[in-house]
A and B are shown apart, each in its own frame.
Chain A
Amino acid sequence: MLNNPILKVENLHVNFNTYAGTVQAIRDVSFDLNKGETLAIVGESGSGKSVTTKTLMGLNAKNAAIPDNSRLLFKDRNLLDLTENEWQSVRGNEIAMIFQDPMTSLDPTMKIGMQIAEPLIKHRQMKKEDALARALELMKGVGIPNAEEHINDYPHQWSGGMRQRAVVAIALAADPEILIADEPTTALDVTIQAQILNLMKQLQEETASSIIFITHDLGVVAGMADRVAVMYAGKIVEYGTVDEIFFNPQHPYTWGLLNSMPTTDTEVGSLEAIPGTPPDLLEPPKGDAFASRNVYALAIDSKEEPPFFKVSDTHYAATWLLDERAPKVTPPEKIQKRWAHWQEIQGQEA
Chain B
Amino acid sequence: MTEGTPKKLVELKDLQLYFNKGKSNEVRAIDHVSFDIYEGEVFGLVGESGSGKTTIGRTILKLYEPTAGDILFEGKDVTHLKGRRLSEFRKNAQMIFQDPQASLNGRMKVRDIIAEGIDINKLAESKADRNQKVQQLLDLVGLNKDHATRYPHEFSGGQRQRIGIARALAVDPKFIIADEPISALDVSIQAQVVNLMKELQQRHSLTYLFIAHDLSMVKYISDRIGVMHWGKLLEIGSADAVYNHPLHPYTKSLLSAIPVPDPEVEKARQHVDYDTSVETDGKKRDMIEVNPGHFVLATPEEAATYKAAQR
Chain A contacts to B: CB under 8 angstroms:
44-45, 160, 189-195, 197-198, 216-223, 242-243, 246-247, 256-258, 260-264, 266, 268-269, 271-275, 277-278
Contact = CB atoms under 8 A, between A and B. Distances in A.
Given A192-B48, A198-B271, A223-B269, 14 more contacts: A190-B48, A190-B215, A190-B259, A191-B274, A193-B259, A194-B257, A243-B263, A258-B261, A260-B187, A264-B243, A264-B255, A273-B191, A273-B195, A274-B192
B261 A246 contact: yes
A232 to B, nearest CB: 10
A265 to B, nearest CB: 8
Contacts of A220: 259
B254 interface: yes
A274 B191 contact: yes
Contacts of B215: 190, 264
Chain B contact residues: over half helix, strand or loop, or mixed? helix
Interface in B266-300: 266-267, 269, 271, 274
A222 B262 contact: yes
A274 B256 CA distance: 28
- The number of chain B residues touching the other chain, given as a range, is 35 or more
A269 B216 CA distance: 14
A198 B269 CA distance: 11
Given A191-B274, A198-B271, A271-B220, A263 B188 contact: no
B194 interface: yes
Given A190-B254, A262-B217, A222 B259 contact: yes
B251 to A, nearest CB: 11
21 contacts: A44-B188, A44-B189, A190-B258, A190-B259, A191-B48, A191-B254, A194-B257, A198-B271, A219-B259, A221-B261, A222-B260, A222-B266, A223-B266, A246-B261, A260-B187, A260-B190, A261-B187, A261-B216, A264-B243, A266-B220, A273-B195
B186 A44 contact: yes
Contacts of B156: 277
B192 A275 contact: yes
Contacts of B261: 218-219, 221-222, 246, 258, 261, 263
A347 B198 CA distance: 41
Nearest to B47: A189
Contact of A262 (B48, B219, B265): B219
Nearest to B253: A191
A90 B293 CA distance: 59
B216 A262 contact: yes
Contact of B48 (A189, A218, A264, A271): A189
B243 A193 contact: no
Given A262-B216, A269-B198, A216 B269 contact: no
A189 B213 contact: yes
A277 B263 contact: no
